[in-house]
């Protein structure tokens, strides 16, 4: 059974599917991020978190660029 999440676009609560039934937002990326194991707090993990943040930022900007074009 999937974890129930809240849609970040329309704030509909307790969604179990990958698509929000209210606004049809794809929630699969958010669901994958929530399933990641917690990160241990050591000095070496800061660089990995920064790299992960940059990759996610690039993916979001590419997706928005494709929507605009």
Region 49-57 average pLDDT: 90
Domain identity same for 32 and 45: no
Predicted local confidence at residue 63, as pLDDT: 85
How far lies 14's CA from each of 29, 35, 61, 69, in Å?
Answer: 16, 16, 28, 33
Q: What confidence category does residue 13 fall into, taking pLDDT thresholds of 50, 70 and 90?
A: very high
So what's the pLDDT on residue 69?
Answer: 61
Q: Which domain holds residue 52?
A: 41-68
What is the average pLDDT value for the chain, to the nearest integer? 84
Query: Using CA atoms, how far apart are residues 52 and 69, in angstroms rounded to an integer?
Result: 26
Same domain, 1 and 20: yes
Q: Are residues 52 and 31 in the same domain?
A: no
- The arithmetic mean of pLDDT across residues 53-64, rounded, is 90
């Amino acid at each position: 059974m999937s974890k129930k999440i809240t849609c970040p676009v329309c704030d509909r609560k307790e969604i179990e599917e990958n698509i929000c039934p209210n606004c049809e937002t794809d929630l699969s990326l958010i669901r994958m991020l929530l399933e990641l194991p917690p990160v241990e707090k050591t000095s070496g993990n800061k660089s990995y978190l920064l790299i992960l943040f940059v990759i996610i930022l690039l993916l979001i900007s590419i997706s928005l660029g494709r929507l605009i074009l």
